[in-house]
Amino acid sequence: MYPFCTPTHINVIASMLSLATSIVLMGASRATAQPIDELNEQIEWLFELSDHPLEPNDSILVLSDTLERLSKRSDYDLGVLVSRYMQGLVLYRTGEVDSSILVLTGVQTEVEKLSNADELLSRVIYALGVSYHFQGKYEMALDRYQAALTLSERLGDQTKIGTVLCNFGRLYSYMGDLDRAFEYYMQAYSYVDILPSYRLARLYNALGNYYSNKQQLDSSRHYYLLSLEIHQELDDKRGIAHGYNNLAIVDYLSGDTNGAVDGFQSALDVRLELSSPHNISESYYNLGYLNFDLGRHEEAIRNYRLGLVYADKAKSIIAKRDLLLEMSASFEKLRQFDSAYYYLSQGRVLADSVMNEAKQDEILLLEKEYETEKLLARQTVIEKENELTTYQRNALLSGLIIILIAGSVAYYIQQLRYRYTLVKADRDRALLEKETELAQKEIILKQEQIANFTNQLIHKNELLEQLQQQIEQEQLSAKQSASFISQHKTPNLENEHDWLNFKIEFEKAYPGFFNMLLANSPEITPHDQRLASLMRVALSNKEIGHILNISSDSVVKAKYRLRQKLGFESQSQLDQFIQEA
């Protein structure tokens, strides 16, 4: 993660690595149990190292592995669990958050079985809170933070109390409750004298964010500057770049666009030193956006192009999408419509990819939940069937021995069957709900794809109209005009092939729509079906006209004829009927 250069921690690492090396050289055959006091001393060293954000993760893994081997030889459960906690912590810091949660949850279960292990338990629960916070599972994060705060107060750990309070504030800020966030920031601020420098920098940065959201820009700038000064003292390059970036945003919000450009450029210079493709791409995007705002469209395009290079390196589809769409806007300002349309098309392809990927992930998650529910339901049924069989056998044996208790056993079996029936019914209902939800998600995805397709048709036709205006103004030759228009022909729903493809996809998004129209009026023509389908996706008369290659007045007349065929007295009745179909 961040560079690590604190002398105290370097000495700790050197000592622990020396110890780890000596253990390896001793060989397993000569290994002896380690005194518990020495193991506890190593645990304290690891705790101190992990509390610093600029630590080298590889060193922590080496040291925790050494601690685990020594603890196992001494049958010291606490040392083993500390080692596994460190492994979970490193997984989080290297971006493997799901694996981190899995490891830390297992550690928590084992630590809770030990006595006098509150400090480790507090650390584990806090780390879980941070992991859930990162995943956006705010309720689970709040629960872990509260548990960590309670344990820290019991232990009298003032530093950890201040840290948890700050995280409470950041979490409520993410949830949009800025006033609640500020209350926690102020509570954390009361520990300012004992907070480590790097945590104090985070608190100042959080306060800067709060005042920025409140549009109190002078206060925001003040706290961002305090945070930046600490990062500079620590030589924390990532923190320095982040500080420049925040101050640039404040300059922009204050109206100092040129100052914002200088700030984003400073952030970019530091990020180039760190060779972080994603952050470099972000900086070029910011510079491009500001140059666009200043009317420097060619400079904006240059920044966007450089940003695309690093977005490719970072393999960030979202960053590429944003850069391509902004480039399209810049070329449009320069009236270079060919390039504008090219980059707009590329950006829309990535936008569709991002949307589809998100929807597909959501559908896959639902499918996974559905399969899990099926597995659990099957497992529950098997367990209940086994339990029922066991009790039936026991009841038979008991009836042969003691006839007097046969009635009570039979009653118990009846109740068991009843409970089994309820459980199975609940499981079946849950599975049905999952199946329904999955089907709805798939339909929504298809509806969004239809809407996106029609929007592309509309936008492309608008570009062609702009071209027509350019042709009239610049008096391009007929041959040049025809060549350009032929290259940019858009699908026409009046064409039977295009209409058939559109109708197939539309039926997936709105099942039974066309059958409903025909059922209400057998006079409905294919042209009426085209018009009704475009009305269903809520397009305006102008947009429908663009797609059907007719005027807005013709669209109004077509709607009037459709209303007569369906027997409605007003246009609002027709609109309501179409939208509810």
Q: What is the DSSP string of 329-392?
A: HHHHHTT-HHHHHHHHHHHHHHHHHHHHHHHHHHHHHHHHHHHHHHHHHHHHHHHHHHHHHHHH
The token duo for 107 is 């550690």
Q: Give the 3-state secondary structure percentages of the chain, helix then strand then coil, rounded to 5.
A: 85, 0, 15
CA distances from 34 to 9, 38, 120 (A): 23, 7, 20
- Cα 84 from Cα 65, distance rounded (Å): 9
- Cα 277 from Cα 137, distance rounded (Å): 27
Per DSSP, the three-state class of 250 is: helix
| Domains of the chain by residue range | 354-487, 496-580
Whole-number pLDDT of residue 83:
87
- The pLDDT of 30-50, averaged and rounded, is 72
> Are 83 and 104 spatial neighbours (Cβ–Cβ below 8 Å)?
no
Whole-number pLDDT of residue 477:
52
Whole-number pLDDT of residue 12:
43
The residue to which tokens 């059958």 are assigned? 515
CB half-sphere exposure, 149, CA atoms < 13 A: 18
**pLDDT at residue 6 is higher than 70:** no
Per-chain mean pLDDT for the chain: 79
Contacts of 549-555 with C-beta under 8 Å, sequence gap 24+, read 549/492, 549/494, 555/531
Higher pLDDT, 537 or 391: 537
**pLDDT at residue 91 is higher than 60:** yes
What is the per-residue pLDDT across 365-417, written as a single tens digit (0 to 9) for each? 555 555 555 555 666 666 666 676 776 666 677 666 777 665 665 666 677 66
Percent of the chain's residues with pLDDT above 70: 71
Q: The pTM is what? A: 0.54
The token duo for 573 is 């009745």
- Cα 249 from Cα 9, distance rounded (Å): 35
- The pLDDT of 465-490, averaged and rounded, is 55
DSSP codes, 121-138: HHHHHHHHHHHHHHHT-H
DSSP 8-state symbol, 475: T
What is the per-residue pLDDT across 431-452, written as a single tens digit (0 to 9) for each? 677 767 766 766 676 666 676 6
List b or e across 470-495, with b for residues whose CB sees 16 or more CB atoms inside 10 angstroms. ebeeeeeeeeebeebeeeeebbebee
- pLDDT grade for 19, boundaries at 50, 70 and 90: very low
Whole-number pLDDT of residue 46:
75
CATH, domain range 496-580: 1.10.10
Whole-number pLDDT of residue 219:
93
Higher pLDDT, 60 or 194: 194
Apex 344 CA angle, 338 and 346, nearest 5:
105
Least confident of 128-142, 206-220, 494-508: 494-508
> Are 230 and 198 spatial neighbours (Cβ–Cβ below 8 Å)?
yes
> Are 81 and 119 spatial neighbours (Cβ–Cβ below 8 Å)?
no
The residue to which tokens 């209902």 are assigned? 429
**pLDDT at residue 101 is higher than 90:** yes
Whole-number pLDDT of residue 31:
46
Contacts of 117-121 with C-beta under 8 Å, sequence gap 24+, read 117/78, 117/81, 118/151, 118/154, 118/155, 119/47, 119/155, 119/157, 120/78, 120/81, 120/82, 120/85, 121/151
Classify residue 475 as left (phi > 0), alpha (psi -120 to 50) or beta.
left
Higher pLDDT, 390 or 76: 76
